[in-house]
Amino acid sequence: MVNQDVYILGIESSCDDTSAAVSHNSTILSNIVASQEVHRKYGGVVPELASRSHQANIVQVVQLALQSANIQKNQLSAIAFTRGPGLLGSLMVGTSFAKSMAFALNIPLIDVNHIQAHVLAHFIDGSNIEHNEKPTFPFLCLTVSGGHTQIMKINSFYDFEIIGSTIDDAAGEAFDKVAKMLGLPYPGGAVIDQLAKEGDPKRFPFSIAKVNDYNFSFSGLKTSVLYFIQKEVAKNEHFIAENLHDICASFQHTAVTSLLQKLVLAAKAENIQHIALAGGVSANSYLREQLRQTAQQHNWTIFIPKMEYCTDNAAMIAMAGYYKYLNGDFASQDIAAVARF
């Protein structure tokens, strides 16, 4: 029988957010996120600056996570950290910190796959905003973020099957790149979401590449928006400003429709009605609204995590760590970060 009181310190540093969280079994006691503002002026994440900011922030972020959880270091059962995928220099900061702290406290060290952690955020108590239930196995999860776009079939806490993924850009990357073309600040996903609320999603029919099976492609959509804008701006230099809401709404409509079409196909083929959303782009209000409508049509039960568990956070790392802890799946001190699996 497993210890009834498992306290995990989760550490996440895969991209530009330094985060630490403390969990007690499947409850999150604290979840601290320090977002790095330094990248804004460059219009994207600068890896070297991200790594340096993680170094500057990590001690304080971990201290704050322990303090707000009201937990002492010696109460921790294990330390879980993001091993990858992500930016290598960033991952190395969290990895070295977690290794040193686990070694000093003489407690187990647990490596976590960042994408699997996005999925396991659904098992955090109170995470789901749709209802009180947690998904049952097997379920499908559409994971959409700045770095990944996948449909996964989740067979158990430990068995993740990728059944579709992007062949080029990630969905969030497409949002961010289109935002940049429109002169909007980085990261642009949430800004497009806001502007699109007052736009016509059917005004501009942007094209999206057709790809096989349950895979996605967003690079062609991005280029389609770019060429369209260039053509229109040559005729009217104020075109973007005059049509910003409609451009955002039309792009967003095309991207979201493509995501949901593939999800419907996958759900039918797998005969699965429990459908979850994960990753930063799942914060998108149009995606959520369209998913709810699709769920009604297909009799799906859907799972959407709270905002703070959608974007990068250490609570999901602690949760993934908790299930690995229950399974006795620990890492050794010679483990290293990996940018790609």
For binding to Zn ion (CB under 5 A), which residues are involved? 145, 312
Does 84 help bind ligand KG4 (rule: CB under 6 A)? no
Sign for the pseudo-dihedral over CA of 124, 82, 309, 297 = negative
Report 179-198 residues binding ligand KG4 (CB under 6 A). Answer: 187-190, 193
List, as one string, the DSSP characters of 196-251.
Answer: HTTS-TTSS-------STT-B--HHHHHHHHHHHHHHHHH-TTHHHHHHHHHHHHH
CB of 117 to Zn ion, least distance (A): 8
Question: Hey, is 129 helix, strand or coil?
Answer: coil
Which is closer to Zn ion, CB of 110 or CB of 317? 317
6/120 with CB nearer ligand KG4: 120
Find the helix or strand (DSSP H, E) in which 51 lies: helix 47-69
**Residue 175 binds which entry of ligand KG4, Zn ion, none, CB below 5-8 Å type-dependent:** ligand KG4
Q: Is the peptide bond before 85 cis (omega within 30 degrees of 0)?
A: yes
Structure-block tokens of residue 228: 């369209």
Residues 303/130, Cβ–Cβ less than 8 Å: yes
Q: Out of 8, 15, 208, 315, which residue is the one contacting ligand KG4 (CB under 6 A)?
A: 15
The minimum distance between CB 119 and Zn ion, in angstroms, equals 11
Name the minimum Å distance from CB 236 to ligand KG4. Answer: 27
Element spanning 278, H or E:
strand 274-278
Q: Binding to ligand KG4 (CB under 6 A): which residues in 304-323?
A: 311-312
- Counting every residue, how long is the chain? 341
Question: Closer to ligand KG4 at the Cβ: 94 or 189?
Answer: 189
Residue 155 sits at φ, ψ, to 5 deg, of -90, -25
For residue 246, state whether it binds ligand KG4 (rule: CB under 6 A).
Answer: no
Is residue 201 within the footprint of ligand KG4 (CB under 6 A)? no
- Asked whether 28 and 39 are in contact (CB, 8 A), the reply is no
Q: What are phi and psi of 10, to 5 degrees?
A: -105, 140
Residue 176 C-beta: closest distance to ligand KG4, Å? 5
Site for ligand KG4 in 262-291 (CB under 6 A): 279-281, 283-284
Q: Is 172 in the site for ligand KG4 (CB under 6 A)?
A: yes
Q: Which residues bind ligand KG4 (CB under 6 A)?
A: 15, 145-147, 172, 175-176, 187-190, 193, 279-281, 283-284, 311-312
